[in-house]
Structures are given as structure tokens and as C-alpha cells.
Amino acid sequence: MPVLIAKIAVSAATYWIDRPYDYLVPEEFGDRVQPGMRVCVPFSRGNRQTEGVVLAMADGSKYETLKPILAVLDDKPVLTEQQLRLALFMRERFFCTVYDAVKAILPAGLWFQADGSRRVRDKTVEMARLAIAAEDAADAADRIRRRSAQQANLLDMLCSFEALPSRELMLHCGASRQALKALCAKELVTLYQREVYRRPEQPPEELLELPTLNEEQSTAFSGISRLAISGKAGCALLQGVTGSGKTSVYIHLIRQQLDRGKSAILLVPEIALTPQMLRTFSSHFGDEVAVLHSSLSVGERYDEWKRIKNGKAHLVIGTRSAVFAPVEHLGILIIDEEQEETYRSENSPRYHARDIAKYRCSKADCLLLLGSATPELVSRYQAEIGRYAYFRLENRYNAQELPQVRIVDMKRELHQGNGGCISSVLAEELQKNLDAGEQSILFLNRRGTNKLISCGDCGFTYKCPRCSVSLTYHSINRRLLCHYCGYSRRVDENCPECGGRLKYVGAGTQLVVEELQSLFPDREILRMDTDSVAPVGSHEQLFARFQKENIPFLVGTQMVTKGLNFENVTLVGVLSADQSLYAGDYRAGERTFSLITQVVGRSGRGSKPGRALIQTFTPDNETICQAAKQDYEAFYHSELQLRKLQNTPPFTDLLAVTLSGTEEELVVRAGHFVRERLEQLLGKQAAHILGPTPLAVVKVNNRYRYRVHISCSLGASVRSSLAQTVIECSTDKRFRGVSVFAENDPMNS
């Protein structure tokens, strides 16, 4: 008689020993164990109990002695066959374990705590309903009315409804719990538990008509919809200037898919954009919308996931992780502002949402739509060579002109004695907006007050003791803070080295707010960065206040650069526009162009004309001039030539092996081992290998970080060689204490 075997991915398995392990299914579990369920199993020599997910079932094993499954943790599979295949794809593509991939796919509410209990339980409400016919209940109410008016009132109310929450029923009737229990004892009323969903936001009662498309939008919609209903997997790029109405095209495409019985996923880059998008789409699709993002409570996120899995929601809106939403019959997957780096995960599994989206669309035979005013250069190139279908919206929806942009030379401001964040030109324009009752947005991609504090006499600067960065000064609590590890300390009155006078260098959003307050002391100013929006939902409250109360100034980091639509904003100021040009990354120019273009596009989105000022110390820089003209095509062609000279994407693929540890010398030695091993496996002709080189911030939280870069044509053999090298280095006793991982197209951080 064949024995039943489960092939299980174990959570305790590290990357170098990650594989399906065979476990014996005990007879008492019978047919309960199925692929996609989680189980508890013994692992390693010490038989430590750990979780695992069943990948497949088999009738036998090549191993003679097998350990048994100890417990089955799920009543039914939490992963479908397609999701299991996705987890295996992620393991091969992103150099992670299967269980790391599973944890990314499933919501946190499904996981178990140390005591074995679920992190989040299903929410239920006690319901009351009649246990007898309504006519009999009415007669019973008449008989007992003199003895107990409360019981009679409860019966009368239930005669009109199929069921009611018991608390609402008692409150409405002015009845006590004792009266309700008495009816249950007489078998006139039944109490039961009904599952309810924790909803982050309730949909509107009345739905709006679909937005009207102009001629340009209709042309784009027609072309994209033909691809979306073709039943073939494909990818399209929709490029539209800021304010061109890409969202309206999305709404029509999604409506088309829902009418066909399909589902849709819409990804947005920032949590701050989700509430605005949710309101827009809920007004057209009502209860069919589910939202997934990290600002939801664990319970809300779990319940939204259940609504999607149970088929009660067919449109999912969310940030990066929403790409894993368990929708059935996927018809279209849209990634808005597809150039944003927030779609890339910095923790294992180090995936890009676009890669997951491509995989899901290929398996579902549906369309992936990428939308942006400033597409990622690789995506634009794929459209140019014909791999992506390409559609353009070249004008704003309301036929309004793009903002008039002016570049302000900050060197000239310094010569005129203005060393502040706000130029005299910008201050004058801000005053004009105040006089006209219009609003302004100021963008600076650095939080805090000052970048660093230094001594003018001895040159001392405050450094983080755990990271190789200077501490940033925050004036609100007069503390110096490390934005990498969180270390903080109070600032001294004088230099701790020589007693000299301390100088405050560089500017952050807090300093901009202080300058605005000195210029316009009687005006309210809102600040939006990660320091000011830490509480859940506070970004939504800030945006609502800015719009409803017509607050004149909003100062923010890149949270304010995209997707926001405020009709009364007619002025945008970009402060320190050139600071992101010197990030030491081949994408620095692309990021700078995108940020400036996106934030300038927040101006003049209503009926009033918009304008923008870009403050820079390099006014002749080609990228800044192109961004000021909103000329994406000129930027694209010049940047493409530079990429070709650099041999960077889209002309090659980049990979990296990152190493970190507490001993710098040991990390460097491990890096040399990785480079030499890769040269042996890949060959110097097939791959260009550099390193090990320190990361931009070499030490974070007392760990030194180095990286080996690989430039080559990516294929299965390259990934296999990279995985083999990571495993060899991780298991080599000479490099004990060094963490090693590989990733595709790494970010320079």
C-alpha cells in the first residue's frame, strides 16, 4: 500500500538549503492535507517545530525514513495552484526562498503568533432572527405584551426583518439583554454569529456615470481595449502629460472588463494616492472595489483580502503588494506612475511589481497596462522597438496649457545676499498667489531642518555612531537624527570638540516651513513628509484640510509630486532641484527629470493657468532645462545615448551580489571571492564584473555593506551561476558572519 507523501517548503530553510522536503502524511490526517495548506513539521537534527507550506502530494519518496507532519494549520488551502507556481517563479527570479515568496503573497493576518494562535481572527457579529413564522411571532407578541412589553417589541421588530444585529435590535427597542435571552429560552428567537468585514472606507450609495472621454482619450481607449479583450497576454504603455486624464481611460477599461465578468488590479506608487484613487473609483464601481496597502490595520487588510478571494470584490486598488491580490479571472492589470521606485521591494523577496505583473498577465492571458507622464526609460525603449504597444495623450483633458516654468539661479541669489531656501523670485510669486486666494506647493526631497551641523572653527560634524552618515537636525524637538538606523541625540550649545560656534548647513522641509512662517507670519502652512504623516491615515487628513480649508501653502517631499489633483493650486516651487542629480546612480538623471516634471504638473490642473519655479545652482544643466520645458522626448533621446555609452539598461541587464557584516575586512574578502567565482562561472567575455565596491552609505547599523556588480545578458544560466555563487559564499566557513544576497537591477542605497 503506497504511503502518502507531502512535498513541503519549510520556513526555517535558508536560501542555500531551500528545496521541497518530503514528509509523511499520518493516517489521522487522511485527505485533509492538500497543496496550498500550511502545516507544522519537525526540521533539522533537533527536530525544531516550524511552519511549512505543502507544494504537492506524492504516493512515494526516494527516502526510506521520513518525518511525519505534526499538525495541519489550515482548514482549506490558502494558496491556489497558480499562487504556488508564482512562489516558485519568485524563488528562481529573485533569489529568495519559497517561504519568503509565500509570505509576500499572503496577508499578515493569516500568519500565526508564537503561541499558535492566528494573528487576526475573523470578525463576527451576533445576529437575531425569528425561530418561528412571522405570523406566529406576531400572535406571540400580542399574548405577552402585558407581561413583558420589551419582549413584545423585540418580536414586532423581528417580524419586519429577516435578521438584525442583536445590539442594534435591543437599542432600537429599548430592550435588555435579559428580555432577548428570555425569547431564546422560549424558542421564539435564535441567536447566531455572522462574519462581517472590517472595511477601511464604505462605498457611496449612489454611483456616478462614467467620465466622458475627449477625442484623444477615446482613441487611446479604443486601441487599448482591443488588446484587453483579445484574450492574449500583452503589455501596453500609456504616456500622457500631467493632467491628460489617464485615470478616466483606466475607469473605462476597468468597466469594460467587469462587464465581461473579469477582474482588475490597479497599482499606485504611494499610500498617499490611495484614498484619492479609492474615492474616484468607488464613485463609479461602489462595493466592487477593495483596497490593499500597508496603512490599513492588519484586520482591515486581512478582511479586504478575504473579500477579494471570496469573489465579493472585483477591482483591487493598492500599492506594490496589491499585485498579489487573489483575484480570479484577471482581465487587466494597470500600473500607474510605473516609473516609481516604490514598486521595488528592498527586503527579501527583492521583487519589482512590474515583473510580478508580467508573470500574472502571461498566465492569465490578459493585458498589462503601464501608465505615466514620464515612463521609465526602459519601458519607453520597449515601446519604441515594438515589444510594448504604445499610446499617447499629448494634451491636458481640459485643454489647459501646461504650467509656465521659470528657472531661478540660486548662485545669483547668494550674490545678492539671500542664503535662504526661498529665492526672492519665489517669495514674490508666493505673495501673488496669496493675494489671488490661490494655493502653492513647495517641493524639497529632504526632511528635517538641516542636513548637518558643523563647527566653523575645527570642522567637526555630528556623525551617527552606527552608520557612515551625518546626523540630520530636526528643530521641532531639537534633536539630531539618523535617517538610516533611528539613532538620535540632543544638539550641544557649542562644538563638543573645541567649544566653537556651530553652523547649520543644508535645508530640509522643516527649515522651509520656518522660512515661510517668517515671510508670511499670519498664514497656515502644511508640511507633508514621513515625519508628519506617521499616524495611519494622517496623509489623507492633510490633503483634505489643504483642499477644503484652502490652506495657502503645502510643503512636502516626493509625497506631493504625483497623482494629486487640486484645482486651486496654481504655483509650484521646486527647491534644490539639482540635489538628486548627484546620487551616484546611472538613473539619477531619469529620477530628477521625473520628479521635477511630476511636481510641476500639480500646477494649473483646474480652470486657472499654472506656473512653476525651479530653483537650482546649475541652471544650464541639460536635464533640468528639459524638465522645465516638460520635454520628455528630448530627455529620452539624450539619456538613451548616454545609456548606450555606459552600457546600462536597456542595452544590458544589471545584477548585483550584496555582502554585509560587522567586520569590514571580512566583507571585502568575501566580495573578492564572489567576483572571482563569478568570473570562473560566467567568463570575462560574457559578463562585465566590477567590485567589490562600497555602497553609497557603506555602514548601516554597525554593518559594512559592499557590492559586486554584474553587467550581462540575463538568462537562466546566469541566474543559476549567481545562485550557486551566493550559496557557496554563504556556506564557506571563512566568511562566517557575512550576509550575502543577489538581486536584479539593484538600487544604489
Give the CATH number for residue 62: 3.40.1440.60
Q: What is the mean pLDDT of residues 495-503?
A: 87
Q: What is the mean pLDDT of residues 271-296?
A: 84
More confident residue, 507 or 431: 431
Residue that terminates a domain, selected from 643, 670, 705: 643
User: What backbone torsions phi and psi does residue 525 show, to the nearest 5 degrees?
Assistant: -130, 130
Q: At what angle do helices 166-173 and 177-185 cross, to 10 degrees?
A: 110
Q: Among residues 295, 353, 304, 351, which one has the least CA distance to residue 327? A: 304
User: What is the SS3 string spanning 703-739?
Assistant: EEEEEEEEEECCCHHHHHHHHHHHHHHHHCHHHCCCE
| Cα–Cα distance for residue pair 448/476, rounded to 1 Å | 9
More confident residue, 297 or 350: 350
User: For residue 215, what pLDDT is reported?
Assistant: 93
| Beta carbons of 560 and 596 less than 8 angstroms apart | no
User: For residue 537, what pLDDT is reported?
Assistant: 57
**Which DSSP helix (H) or strand (E) runs through 676?**
helix 664-682
Residues 486 and 436 in one domain: no
Whole-model pTM above 0.85? yes
User: What backbone torsions phi and psi does residue 220 show, to the nearest 5 degrees?
Assistant: -65, -45
Phi-psi region of 459 (alpha: psi -120 to 50; beta: other; left: phi over 0): left
Q: Quick check: 252 pLDDT over 90? A: yes
Residues 493 and 544 in one domain: no
Residues 264 and 161 in one domain: no
**Which DSSP helix (H) or strand (E) runs through 644?**
helix 632-646
> Does residue 606 form part of some domain?
yes
Residue 556 pLDDT grade (very low, low, confident, very high; cuts 50, 70, 90):
confident
Residue 533 pLDDT grade (very low, low, confident, very high; cuts 50, 70, 90):
low
Q: Quick check: 637 pLDDT over 90? A: yes
Residues 601 and 700 in one domain: no
Residues 521 and 572 in one domain: yes
Residues 492 and 539 in one domain: no
Q: Tell me the residue type at 250.
A: Y
Q: Taking the chain, what is the end-to-end CA distance rounded to the nearest angstrom? A: 57
> Does residue 179 form part of some domain?
yes
Q: What is the mean pLDDT of residues 244-251?
A: 94
Residue 397 pLDDT grade (very low, low, confident, very high; cuts 50, 70, 90):
confident
User: For residue 465, what pLDDT is reported?
Assistant: 93
User: For residue 205, what pLDDT is reported?
Assistant: 64
Q: For the ranges 12-16, 98-102, 527-531, 602-606, which has the lowest average pLDDT?
A: 527-531
| Beta carbons of 66 and 24 less than 8 angstroms apart | yes
Residues 499 and 512 in one domain: no
Q: Tell me the residue type at 141.
A: A
> Does residue 692 form part of some domain?
yes
Q: Quick check: 506 pLDDT over 80? A: no
Q: What is the mean pLDDT of residues 404-430?
A: 91
User: For residue 685, what pLDDT is reported?
Assistant: 73
| Cα–Cα distance for residue pair 308/432, rounded to 1 Å | 49
Q: Quick check: 391 pLDDT over 90? A: yes
Residue 199 pLDDT grade (very low, low, confident, very high; cuts 50, 70, 90):
confident
More confident residue, 337 or 199: 337
C-alpha count within 13 angstroms, C-beta hemisphere, residue 112: 14
pLDDT digits (tens, 9 = 90+) for 558-610: 878 776 778 899 999 999 888 888 877 889 999 999 999 989 988 888 888 89
Q: Quick check: 538 pLDDT over 80? A: no
| Cα–Cα distance for residue pair 160/180, rounded to 1 Å | 17
The x, y and z cell numbers of residue 391, run together, are 499610446
| Cα–Cα distance for residue pair 272/355, rounded to 1 Å | 23
User: For residue 636, what pLDDT is reported?
Assistant: 96
The x, y and z cell numbers of residue 92, run together, are 528562481
| Cα–Cα distance for residue pair 242/257, rounded to 1 Å | 25
Residues 273 and 416 in one domain: no
The x, y and z cell numbers of residue 633, run together, are 522626448
Q: What percent of the chain has pLDDT over 70?
A: 96
User: For residue 563, what pLDDT is reported?
Assistant: 67
Residue that terminates a domain, selected from 51, 75, 106: 106
Question: How many residues are recorded in the chain?
Answer: 749
Residue that terminates a domain, selected from 167, 195, 223: 195
Rg (CA), the chain: 30
> Does residue 205 form part of some domain?
no
Residue 393 pLDDT grade (very low, low, confident, very high; cuts 50, 70, 90):
very high
More confident residue, 48 or 113: 48
Judge residue 653's burial from the number of C-beta atoms within 10 Å of its C-beta, 0-12 exposed, 13-18 middle, 19 or more buried: middle
pLDDT digits (tens, 9 = 90+) for 204-246: 668 889 999 999 999 999 999 999 999 999 999 999 988 889 9
Q: What is the mean pLDDT of residues 680-708?
A: 91
> Does residue 455 form part of some domain?
no
Q: What is the mean pLDDT of residues 356-376?
A: 96
Quote the mean pLDDT of the chain: 89
DSSP state of 212: P
Q: What is the mean pLDDT of residues 397-408?
A: 86
**How many folded domains does the chain comprise?**
6
User: For residue 384, what pLDDT is reported?
Assistant: 96
Q: Among residues 412, 381, 288, 292, which one has the least CA distance to residue 649? A: 381
> Does residue 547 form part of some domain?
yes
Q: What percent of the chain has pLDDT over 90?
A: 57
Q: At what angle do helices 509-519 and 424-436 cross, to 10 degrees?
A: 60
> Does residue 118 form part of some domain?
no
Q: Quick check: 203 pLDDT over 80? A: no
Identify the residue whose cell numbers are 435591543: 170
| Cα–Cα distance for residue pair 191/96, rounded to 1 Å | 48
Residues 185 and 172 in one domain: yes
| Cα–Cα distance for residue pair 479/472, rounded to 1 Å | 8
- Non-local (6+) Cβ contacts of 624 within 8 A are 407, 577, 578, 581, 592, 596, 614, 616, 618
Q: What is the CATH number of the domain that holds 290?
A: 3.40.50.300
Residues 468 and 493 in one domain: yes
User: What backbone torsions phi and psi does residue 505 show, to the nearest 5 degrees?
Assistant: -115, 140
> Does residue 586 form part of some domain?
yes
| Cα–Cα distance for residue pair 291/285, rounded to 1 Å | 13
Residues 637 and 696 in one domain: no
Angle at 184 between CA 183 and CA 189, to 5 degrees: 80
User: What backbone torsions phi and psi does residue 311 show, to the nearest 5 degrees?
Assistant: 80, 20
pLDDT digits (tens, 9 = 90+) for 89-147: 999 999 999 999 999 999 887 777 665 666 677 787 888 999 988 888 888 888 888 88
What range does the domain containing 690 cover? 653-744
Residues 419 and 525 in one domain: yes
